[in-house]
Amino acid sequence: MKTLQDFNFEDKKALIRVDFNVPLDDHLKVTDTSRIEAAKDTILKVLEDGGSTVLMSHLGRPKGKRNQAMSLKHICDSVSDIIGVQVKFVDDCIGEKVKKAYAELQSGEVLLLENLRFYNEEEEGDSAFAKQLSKFGDIYINDAFGTAHRAHASTTIVANYFPENKCFGYLLAKEIKAIEKVMQTGEKPVTAILGGAKVSSKITIIENILDKVDHIIIGGGMTYTFIKAMGGKVGDSICEDDKMDLAMDILKKAKQKGVQIHLPVDVLAADAFDNNANTKVVPVENIPDGWQGLDAGPDTLKLFKEVILKSKTILWNGPVGVFEMESFAKGTIAIGNFIDEATKNGAFSLVGGGDSVAAVKQFGFENKVSYVSTGGGAMLESLEGKTLPGIAAIMD
Ligand code: AMP
């Protein structure tokens, strides 16, 4: 498989699938440019070699219809500022206008195409549409991890038209390496910290990582299904009664495989799902009726700290409390601090999947962990052990 470094882009045009699905405010100004910044190195590699780039992305969910509020023209200035080159924009992603702009594209130039999802064919993975896109590059680069779990025309199908000339961009390569480090090559002990609301959404991840990790820390709303299954009283805490058998099965399998599961021992319980509710610390297996566990308790955090600090590879997915409310964010902040400390001591730490990144950004842990994944769903599917179509298409 070729990497970006294997190509010299001198006088070549690179068709790059980027993830420029950025948030816009009411005035259609970009409010968070991280996804554009994340694609910068790949774009600059092509330009510095003496090539040119055609950038394609989706923005929002226009559902196959033109929608000016979701036009990529709104992000041109931000891309130009970040790349340092005045970006050219064409208000379509296939057809005559694009053909003309492509023919006129000179080395050192960047052409941004209009939102791919103005066509239903993009999400349908339509081959004819992908073939038309493929005309706009000598080499195809996929650097959009956020959509790598979708077999869309621009993320997967288009790669078929570049049998030799395709590769991952730097960002996608970094994501793959980070996942490999946790799942295959990471130094032991490897610890996964799994939080979030429901067991049901994490079952496949837990089953997949049982063969790969030494410790699993379980926190957040998931806790109570395990505790109730083991005979505890969880009061009004979130609990999936129909998943209790599954929870017991996980505990059994973990034991067989020699994986240590660490569950909370105490929780911060509240008498309402409200930031201003009355709270008290109670044993996790004895939460009174009318009370619900909304954050990890102090003894739990001590226990989790010990495990985290002796880990050499750490995966963090999901908050250990309702971090959106200040009263129940302390546990999640503490976990971030323990991971920070472990990372400073030399551990490799990866945060990703679903809401974890939001929590990490909110509390400023972004630069304290080794790697923050840019793809919510794509990271979750990777952790579930699935082969992502966008990745497979480059490796084929
Ligand atoms: P997920 O997307 O599965 O990672 O879940 C994230 C959500 O889990 C966040 O919105 C948290 O507020 C929620 N959460 C974490 N702990 C609890 C809890 N003890 N009770 C209810 N919700 C929780």
**pLDDT on residue 359:** 82
On whether residue 396 sits in a domain, the answer given is: no
| CA gap 355, 60 in Å, rounded | 18
Identify whether residues 377 and 249 lie together within a single domain: yes
On whether residue 394 sits in a domain, the answer given is: no
Residue 355 Cα to ligand 1 midpoint, Å, equals 9
Identify whether residues 31 and 126 lie together within a single domain: yes
Identify whether residues 281 and 332 lie together within a single domain: yes
On whether residue 127 sits in a domain, the answer given is: yes
Determine the 3-state secondary structure of 260 from DSSP. Answer: strand
On whether residue 390 sits in a domain, the answer given is: no
Identify whether residues 265 and 236 lie together within a single domain: yes
**pLDDT on residue 366:** 87
* CB of 318 sitting under 6 A from ligand 1: yes
**pLDDT on residue 288:** 98
| CA gap 154, 151 in Å, rounded | 8
On whether residue 143 sits in a domain, the answer given is: yes
**pLDDT on residue 128:** 98
Identify whether residues 81 and 204 lie together within a single domain: no
**Sequence letter at residue 333:** I
Q: What is the CATH number of the domain that holds 94?
A: 3.40.50.1260
Identify whether residues 9 and 138 lie together within a single domain: yes
Query: Which of 238, 284, 287, 320 is the pocket-test mutation for ligand 1 (most atoms within 8 Å of CB)?
Result: 238
What are the CA-CA distances from residue 208 to residues 24, 104, 172, 384 (Å)? 36, 49, 22, 6
Mean per-residue pLDDT of the chain: 95
Point out the domain boundary residue: 146, 172, 198. 172
Identify whether residues 58 and 191 lie together within a single domain: no
Identify whether residues 160 and 200 lie together within a single domain: no
Point out the domain boundary residue: 172, 202, 232. 172
Identify whether residues 193 and 294 lie together within a single domain: yes
Closest ligand 1 atom to 295 CA? 19
- When divided into structural domains, the chain yields a total of 2
pTM of the model: 0.90
User: Domain range spanning residue 10?
Assistant: 4-172
**pLDDT on residue 31:** 92
**pLDDT on residue 340:** 96
On whether residue 286 sits in a domain, the answer given is: yes
**pLDDT on residue 201:** 86
Point out the domain boundary residue: 137, 172, 207. 172
Radius of gyration over alpha carbons of the chain, in Å?
23
Chain segment 173-194, per-residue pLDDT in tens: 999 999 999 998 889 999 999 9
* Residue 318 is a catalytic residue: no
Residue nearest to atom 18 of ligand 1 (CA): 221
Identify whether residues 230 and 126 lie together within a single domain: no
Q: The tokens of 105 are what?
A: 């594209």
* Residue 65 is a catalytic residue: no
Task: Give me the residues of the chain with pLDDT under 70, please.
Answer: 355
On whether residue 179 sits in a domain, the answer given is: no
Residue 288 Cα to ligand 1 midpoint, Å, equals 20
Residue 219 Cα to ligand 1 midpoint, Å, equals 9
On whether residue 177 sits in a domain, the answer given is: no
Phi then psi for residue 283, to 5 deg, are -60, 140
The one catalytic residue in 12, 13, 17, 35 is 35
Phi then psi for residue 347, to 5 deg, are -75, 155
Identify whether residues 145 and 191 lie together within a single domain: no
Closest ligand 1 atom to 220 CA? 16
**pLDDT on residue 155:** 98
**pLDDT on residue 347:** 97
Identify whether residues 201 and 298 lie together within a single domain: yes
